[in-house]
Structure formats: C-alpha cells, structure tokens
Amino acid sequence: MYILASRSRTVYTGVTGGLKDRVMQHKLGLIEGFTKKYRINPLVYYETCPDVRLAIAREKQIKRWRREKKVKLIEAHNPAWGDLAADWFDDKQVPRLRSG
C-alpha cells in the first residue's frame, strides 16, 4: 500500500505487489488517469503487508479516511513530505523533469 503526493499535496493511495516498479511507472507517466493528469508521483508513505488481501483492505481503509487523517499518517512518518523513492532510480531511469 502506498501514498503519492503532488507538490500541492494532493494525495493518491494505491496498492501494488511491486512498489519500486509501480513508483517508476508513476514517475514516467505510464499510468493513465488521475496521477498522470495531476503529476502525482513523489512517494510520501508506504506500508508492506505479508498478504495481498491485507494490503487491499488497508488501501480501502485509508481511501475512506478524510484528508486530515491521511495527512496525519503521512506527517507522522514523513513530516517534510519528502520523496521516499528519491534515491531509488538514476536519471536515466527517471528524468528529473518527471520527478514531481
């Protein structure tokens, strides 16, 4: 389960079995829809789950939360809203102009 945020702190919650690959897809704009349209790609929060069903349940739970509660969750672990995946890729994999 992961949360991405735009520079204006619009958030997106998703779930994946391959976080690094999915984050790269978001950063490269390969996933059509909300995150691409609003350039929501810095990874600001994530959780790992031992079972995909638990991850999906957690994603659904967080998606139901009000924005304020999501912000508190992010800021409890990442107060500066920094991109937790900033050092996962080199510039050849993810060009800087797509990083946020």
DSSP conformation class of 99: -
- The total domain count for the chain is 1
What are the pLDDT digits (tens) for 18-62? Answer: 999 999 999 999 999 999 999 999 999 999 999 999 999 999 999
**One-letter amino acid for residue 5 of the chain:** A
What pTM does this model have?
A: 0.89
Q: Which residue spans within 36-79 are E strands per DSSP?
A: 43-46
Token pair for residue 80? 């500066």
What is the CATH number for 75?
3.40.1440
Which domain covers residue 91, as residue numbers? 2-98
d(CA 63, CA 50): 20
Task: Provide the sign of the torsion angle of the four alpha carbons 58, 64, 84, 72, taken in this order.
Answer: negative
Token pair for residue 48? 């790992």
What are the pLDDT digits (tens) for 54-72? Answer: 999 999 999 999 999 999 9
